[in-house]
Amino acid sequence: MSLCLAAGAISAVLAVESFTLSWMHSIEKIRWEEDWRIESGALVLTEARIRGSGAGMEPPVGSVLKNGVWHYLPPLPPQTALRLSHSPHVAGYMLCTTTVCLPLADHLPGIDNNAVIEIRECPR
């Protein structure tokens, strides 16, 4: 399985079956994380975490607090693609695999400062 990343004409392929996306809340500076896996042509969210709470960031109903981190599973159906905004006005997304964590934009060198990054399973 492979994960395709694209922002306009710039693209990359990662040979992974699962990955973690993380980002910092732009106001509260609290880290959010989501674990995803590729399954049957879709991206499936397997767990989400919030490393704290703040204004407008209350953990969802059913969240479990473990060592200061709220763990939960959002009721989100499998997604064919994720579309993420890349902006110079906020810290960028991080993409972690089993071997490395890098800023998502590092996988797409030369992307525009105001790009939309699309993540999906690569066609077979």
**What is the per-residue pLDDT across 65-83, written as a single tens digit (0 to 9) for each?**
999 899 999 899 999 999 9
- On the question of pLDDT at 39 being above 70, the answer is yes
- What does the DSSP 8-state code read for residue 75? -
1-16 pLDDT tens trace: 899 999 999 999 999 9
d(CA 68, CA 81): 31
Q: Which residues face 21 on adjacent strands?
A: 34, 95
pLDDT band with cut points at 50, 70 and 90 for residue 61: confident
- Mean of the pLDDT values across residues 22-32? 79
- On the question of pLDDT at 28 being above 70, the answer is no
- Predicted confidence at residue 89, as pLDDT, reads 80
For the chain, the maximum distance between any two Cα atoms, rounded to a whole number of angstroms, is 43
- Mean of the pLDDT values across residues 34-62? 87
Average pLDDT, the chain: 90
Q: How many helices (H) and strands (E) does the chain have?
A: 0, 11
pTM above 0.85, yes or no: yes
d(CA 13, CA 90): 25
To the nearest 10°, the Cα dihedral for 94, 7, 76, 97? -40
Taking the mean position of all CA atoms in its chain, how far away is CA 122? Answer: 17
8 A C-beta contact, residue 47 and residue 71: yes
Backbone CA torsion sign across 69, 72, 78, 79: negative
